A = this chain, B = another copy of it.
Amino acid sequence: MELKSIKELLSSDQLLQEVGVKGWIRTFRSNRFIALNDGSTIHNIQCVVDYENFPENVLKQLNTGAAVSIVGTLVESQGRGQSVEIQVKEIEILGIANPEEFPIQPKKHSLEFLREKAHLRIRTNTFGAIMRVRSALSFAVHNYFREHGFNYVNTPIITGSDAEGAGEMFRVTTLDAKNPPLNDQKEVDYKEDFFGKETNLTVSGQLEGEAYAMALGKIYTFGPTFRAENSNTSRHLAEFWMIEPEVAFLDLDGNMDLAEDFIKNVLSYVLEHCSDDLNFLEGRLLEEEKSKPQAERSEMKLIEKLRFVTENNFKRVSYTEAIDILKNSKPNKKKKFNYIIEEWGADLQSEHERYLVEKHFKAPVILFDYPADIKAFYMRQNEDGKTVRAMDILFPGIGEIVGGSQREERYEVLKDKVKAMGIDEKELWWYMDLRKFGTATHSGFGLGFERLVLFTTGMSNIRDVIPFPRTPQNAEF
């Protein structure tokens, strides 16, 4: 007898046949009804036990969390909420779960409590749903790019280049931690280190991605990136996954088109393929928000919100326009912002981004043409001499979800910029080469994958959308 997944069984029409199923008990009630889950779907299959036919010691072990193997007959369900159920003939206890010890009992656990049990929280409905949606989103990413002629590139995780400039880095080393070798200048002698130089964990695969785009045309990365920043917020992780497409012969307008199309496409994929999990997550969110004041609740339900993004154009607004809107906004005039917008050139804070997205436009917003001074060295200078071809995509409840730009393709301009920013050009020799040999307009962006999962699942803490979160003071598991 072939073992079937619960997902298959629940949509099966093989009634009255004998079936075998293995899974974990979610609940066992009235000494009769096992709700069994095997992770293939959020739904449990109901297994009806005629308790008179089973020994007491077996029934006693049918506790939440126990693994069992069940053989029985698939029949139309008598109860509500499921189409089929199993009339149990045989039960084998594979692994018990002592109810005095197993922490995931059928009651409400706080997300904070579950974070301490990251190895077991995946056995709850909430985390099962989140992680299945996360997996589906990942696949949608690969599928979108493959269908659009992109090649997947694995850029290095350990990098000897410290010119990426996107933030604080983690050092990677095999030197003796206590007594590192020193050189003649009494400095740590990285020549003795594994790679013969100082190395760090990457903050972005963009620069290497550009090298590949300038040969393969369209590429993307999708891998882990790192920030050694002491940020204990609900939106930051020290280790997170980033998606970075890079396209030759593409300008900023094309880049915005790509990012918008990409996001809509992957959200459409999960709307189509994860409706059960999304329905559950929508219900969870409604429940959670009941305890909040009306003003803080979401205006749209989860699925409605996702549909809204897939069906409406993102608003494209230049930084200059955005500053005008913000300067004339109520919270700015009434000095409700923590940072008052006084003049062009100001760096936008989260409160300003949220105002634009959630209050003013009530839609995802693409801001573009930022002041050069607040953006990275590799972004293409506009003719005005003061702005660069950067773009950020801002999402309701999330803030920045995408940051991208057209890249500076002109050798001399880039060289001057690198110098002006005090970066060692020699470190970037190979990146400069891309401008020396067959340079061309090209663009790309980075999308923080966990922020996308956060948005899609309606969760509010980024630690809850990655299996084993890494944050300051926390690398458990």
**Which B residues are in CB contact (< 8 Å) with A138?**
142, 152
Q: Which of B3, B182, B208, B466 is close to A468, meaning CB atoms less than 8 Å apart? A: B208
Asked whether, in the complex, the Cβ of A477 is within 8 Å of the Cβ of B161, the reply is: yes
Q: Mark A164-191, 1 if CB is under 8 A from B, else 0.
A: 0000101111110110101000011000
A154 to B240 Cα, complex, angstroms: 9
**Which B residues are in CB contact (< 8 Å) with A156?**
239, 467-468, 470, 475, 477
Asked whether, in the complex, the Cβ of A160 is within 8 Å of the Cβ of B95, the reply is: no
Least CB distance, A453 to chain B, in whole angstroms: 10
A139-B146, A477-B208 given; A440·B95 CB < 8 A: yes
**Which B residues are in CB contact (< 8 Å) with A149?**
5, 7, 40
Asked whether, in the complex, the Cβ of B154 is within 8 Å of the Cβ of A196, the reply is: no
Copies of this chain, complex-wide, total 2
Tell me if A399 counts as interface (CB < 8 A to partner B).
no
**Which B residues are in CB contact (< 8 Å) with A154?**
134, 224, 241, 466-467
Taking CB atoms and an 8 Å cut-off, the chain A residues in 425-477 that contact chain B are 430-431, 433-441, 466-468, 470, 472-477
Question: Size of chain A's interface in residues, with CB distance under 8 A?
Answer: 108
Tell me if A197 counts as interface (CB < 8 A to partner B).
yes
Taking CB atoms and an 8 Å cut-off, the chain A residues in 68-126 that contact chain B are 69, 94-98, 101-102, 104, 118-120, 122-123
Asked whether, in the complex, the Cβ of B440 is within 8 Å of the Cβ of A228, the reply is: no
**Which B residues are in CB contact (< 8 Å) with A440?**
22, 67, 94-95
- The residue in chain B whose Cβ has the minimal distance to the Cβ of A225 is B157
User: Quick check: which of A209-217, A313-321, A357-365 contacts chain B, the rest being far away?
Assistant: A209-217
